[in-house]
Amino acid sequence: MSWQATILTLFPDMFPGPLGLSLAGRALGGGVWSCQTHDLRQHGLGRHRAVDDTPFGGGAGMVIRADVVDAALSAIQAPEGAPRVFLTPRGRPLRQQDVSRYAQGPGVVLLCGRFEGVDERVLEARGIEQVSIGDYVLSGGETAALVLLDACVRLLPGVMGSDESGVEESFSDGLLEYPHYTRPASWDGRDVPEVLLSGNHAAIAAWRQKQAEEITRERRPDLWSAWLDRRERNEAAAGRSGQSGRTGV
């Protein structure tokens, strides 16, 4: 059974887009995952197949109607247990742990909005998670959906070689990655850090860990303090189990 992406959108032609190429494209062709779009316009009302209406309470823009989204959800065939996700800058931030949860399931149903948003009632009533890919506003949810799918598909079994899955683990320990270098060893007057040429694997690992910590502290104070908290908790837990070992409790 392949991992199934079902996308509700006003712009079905935007899929698979860039995910039809490279690793994701090969996996799509090979049946590792499938990408099914469903045009929200099919469920629009009246001669113009309107999917949106003006917001109650006034204000700018248009809101996608609850009944239109609901009709689209009823029409699709998504695997049992696939999470439903609405891409919106109002959502909780997408994290690697969410991506990993989605990738381990049967697939996802993605709702892509345009205009001001979607009637909140259908999001609540149909258990639709609200997810943002970052603190900036895109013109619609489709490009955010492509980002989410890219992050999921690369984790599906067989999509990437073992090298790359190692990289994935190093990010999910909560630190940004150390810097990378390749030949030539000297370029434009800049030398590769000497330790990387030493062949001393323990020293290289220690240097990379230190770099990862420094870069995370500088660039992402939020990740850094979460990592410090986790380390403190782990050390406390290790201390407790060490003590209980010694006292034989």
Judged by CB under 6 A, the residue of 133, 146, 155, 175 near ligand ADE is: 133
Choices 37-45, 60-68, 86-94, 197-205; region in contact with ligand ADE by CB under 6 A: 86-94
Per CB under 6 A, does 132 bind ligand ADE? yes
Residue 102 marked in a binding site: no
Residue 135 marked in a binding site: yes
DSSP summary character for residue 113: -
Per CB under 6 A, does 93 bind ligand ADE? no
CA distance 108 to 81: 9
Q: State the Cα torsion 64-65-70-75 to the nearest 10°.
A: -70
Per CB under 6 A, does 44 bind ligand ADE? no
Q: Which is nearer to ligand ADE, 113 or 196 (CB)?
A: 113
SS3 119: coil
Choices 9-17, 128-136, 164-172, 187-195; region in contact with ligand ADE by CB under 6 A: 128-136
Q: Which is nearer to ligand ADE, 26 or 101 (CB)?
A: 101
Q: Which is nearer to ligand ADE, 112 or 175 (CB)?
A: 112
- If one counts every other C-beta atom within 10 angstroms of the C-beta of residue 235, the result is 10
Per CB under 6 A, does 146 bind ligand ADE? no
SS3 52: strand
Q: Which is nearer to ligand ADE, 6 or 88 (CB)?
A: 88
Residue 248 marked in a binding site: no
Residue 204 marked in a binding site: no
Q: Are strands 3-9 and 33-39 parallel, antiparallel or unpaired?
A: parallel
The 3-class secondary structure across 162-209, one letter per residue, is HHHHHHHHHHHCCCCCCCCCCCCCEECCEECCHHHHCCCHHHHHHHHH
Burial class (CB in 10 A: 0-12, 13-18, 19+), 182: exposed
Residue 136 marked in a binding site: yes
Q: Which is nearer to ligand ADE, 74 or 139 (CB)?
A: 139
Using alpha carbons, list the distances in angstroms from residue 144 to 14, 79, 127, 135, 229: 11, 22, 20, 12, 31
Residue 137 marked in a binding site: yes
Judged by CB under 6 A, the residue of 14, 32, 62, 138 near ligand ADE is: 138
Q: Which is nearer to ligand ADE, 56 or 136 (CB)?
A: 136
CA distance 203 to 108: 42
Annotated binding site for S-adenosyl-L-methionine: 113, 133-138
Name the site residues for ligand ADE (rule: CB under 6 A): 87-89, 132-134, 136-138, 141, 144
